[in-house]
Amino acid sequence: ITAEATVVLRENGKMREKSLTMDTLNPQVKAVEYAVRGPIVTKAGDIERGLQQGQKHPFTEVIKANIGDSHAMGQKPITFLRQVVALCSFPELLDSSSFPEDAKQRARRILQGCGGQSLGSYSASQGVDCIRQDIAVYIEQRDKGVPADWDNIYLTTGASDGIVSILKMLVSGQGRSRSGVMIPIPQYPLYSAAISEMEAVQINYYLDEDNCWALDINELHRAYQAAKEHCHPRVICIINPGNPTGQVQSRKCIEEVLHFAYEENLFVMSDEVYQDNVYSPDCQFHSFKKVLYEMGPEYFNTVELASFHSTSKGYSGECGFRGGYMEVLNLDLEVKAQLVKLLSVRLCPPVSGQAAMDVIVNPPLPHEPSYLQFHKEKRAVLGALAEKAQMTEQILNTVPGIKCNPVQGAMYAFPRIFIPPRAVEEAMSLGISPDMMYCLRLLEETGICLVPGSGFGQREGTYHFSLHTLRLESLKLVFQPLHKLLVNKL
């Protein structure tokens, strides 16, 4: 009798079944797929532990390019942000002369907003009031004066938490009236995972790979009309700048999407966590909210919009703090109360993550002592990311059999790989997708962990992989094996 047996005999000879088995597991949980932490990442972890324990592999290090985890890739934290968090965590430091006055001022203000002036108190479920106010001011400045009401701001546990909460509100109905959620393909797999967990209907709209992954409004119409036959499309999700595809949406395209959402009564979810990660000089970040405002009051006062931001990306890269916020627009007042209720069941987002978010929206001003260092560090991070984005594209495009669009923004490349027919057949006969086979071989032979495009979605018959824009050293390391594998082996 092992701990893992599903059925065991009791002493009295009667059977004791396990309560929780693969047969009795919630089928919605079973249906969830989450590629960026899926089987290939698990395998990479196993190999890594093996290496540490002295196992032999044709390489000495596992390079994980599966997720945007900047600090793990060697990016240094922004000093000012960490000073504020440390001051909030241990307020005795407010008396220390080794911390600058502007960091102390931020920390004092945040602590004033916390119960008992402690980061250890629960905040309101929507977040600390003064941080929500700072966020509203930040959004107004970012959007050149478009009004932002802090009553519409909710702190979240990373952006994922906000996205899941809004989706949860929107899922209802059965059969043909079941809620449909439009998502880009390729997508960030949080969306497909949440949709299958909630048993909503996933409506794919395909980004145009031949046009630098742009969103094509005709494709939106096509997807919507087709979906209407079997579900009730209620939401359109946009990721801008794109994850994993790295495109930055044009203002014109955003306006088209918003017009479409307006006409079809769709709720708009705009994932803007990469808003600070725009590298191409031809591109500019436009928030969906700002464009909506510029379309006039008929749009700005009606279209329901939730947009999301995070501490995890941008120049701060603070994933571990799980900080983030969402701003909602035109939400029905009763629905808003329901949203607060839903959030309150989880009590509150981590308050140290809220403090980190506050620094991002309330950085040092030109007259403040930390201004120069803050901007030097910020520029250095964004400059390095821009350089890597460009290098990634260039290096990948030198490999025969790989074609990579420009990485205009975000932190990823999603190159297409042309896998020879006989390798495709081999994969099919093994029962795995060809791009999964490619990524598994790459991992086994080189220690490089990429995620196959099938985890993000791709047009049938095309194959891709997702690559986080790595340290340049790593990128150069990746190049040769990629080349070898694709040209010689597949």
Instruction: List the interface residues with its own copies, window 52-81 (CB under 8 A).
Output: 67, 69-75, 77
User: 64 phi and psi, to 5 degrees?
Assistant: -95, 110
Task: Using the rule CB under 8 A, give the single segment among 108-116, 221-229, 422-430, 444-452 that binds its own copies.
Answer: 108-116
- Considering only 54, 58, 116, 366, the residue that binds its own copies (CB under 8 A) is 116
Of the pair 207, 305, the CB lying nearest its own copies is at: 305
User: 17 phi and psi, to 5 degrees?
Assistant: -90, 155
> CB of 199: closest distance to its own copies in angstroms?
11
Residue 270 touches its own copies, criterion: CB under 8 A: no
Residue 97 touches its own copies, criterion: CB under 8 A: no
Structure tokens at 276: 């600070």
Residue 349 touches its own copies, criterion: CB under 8 A: yes
Q: Which 3 state secondary structure label does DSSP give 367?
A: coil
Asked whether the beta carbons of 167 and 153 are under 8 A apart, the reply is: no
What Cα–Cα distance (Å) separates residue 184 from each residue in 181, 227, 239, 243, 292?
Answer: 10, 14, 8, 10, 20
**Partners of 180 in the beta sheet?**
201, 233
**Partners of 179 in the beta sheet?**
232
E strand or H helix at 179: strand 179-185
Other Cβ atoms closer than 10 A to 265: 11
Q: How many residues bind its own copies (CB under 8 A)?
A: 108
> CB of 214: closest distance to its own copies in angstroms?
25
- Considering only 194, 239, 410, 470, the residue that binds its own copies (CB under 8 A) is 194
- Considering only 188, 213, 224, 267, the residue that binds its own copies (CB under 8 A) is 267
- Considering only 148, 153, 170, 440, the residue that binds its own copies (CB under 8 A) is 170
User: 186 phi and psi, to 5 degrees?
Assistant: -70, 155
Residue 109 touches its own copies, criterion: CB under 8 A: no
> CB of 429: closest distance to its own copies in angstroms?
25
- Considering only 55, 96, 218, 225, the residue that binds its own copies (CB under 8 A) is 96
Task: Using the rule CB under 8 A, give the single segment among 207-215, 322-330, 422-430, 475-483 that binds its own copies.
Answer: 322-330
Task: Using the rule CB under 8 A, give the single segment among 20-28, 242-250, 279-287, 398-406 that binds its own copies.
Answer: 20-28
- Considering only 141, 172, 284, 480, the residue that binds its own copies (CB under 8 A) is 172
Residue 304 touches its own copies, criterion: CB under 8 A: yes
Of the pair 230, 346, the CB lying nearest its own copies is at: 346
β-strands 323-329, 153-157 pairing: antiparallel
Cα 105 versus chain centre, distance = 31
Interatomic CA distance for residues 75 and 85, integer angstroms: 18
- 24-53 residues in contact with its own copies (CB under 8 A) are 24-27, 29-30, 32, 34, 37-38, 42, 45
Residue 469 touches its own copies, criterion: CB under 8 A: no
Helix-then-strand count for the chain, H and E: 17, 16
Report angle CA 29, 122, 340 to the nearest 5 degrees.
Answer: 60
Of the pair 206, 321, the CB lying nearest its own copies is at: 321
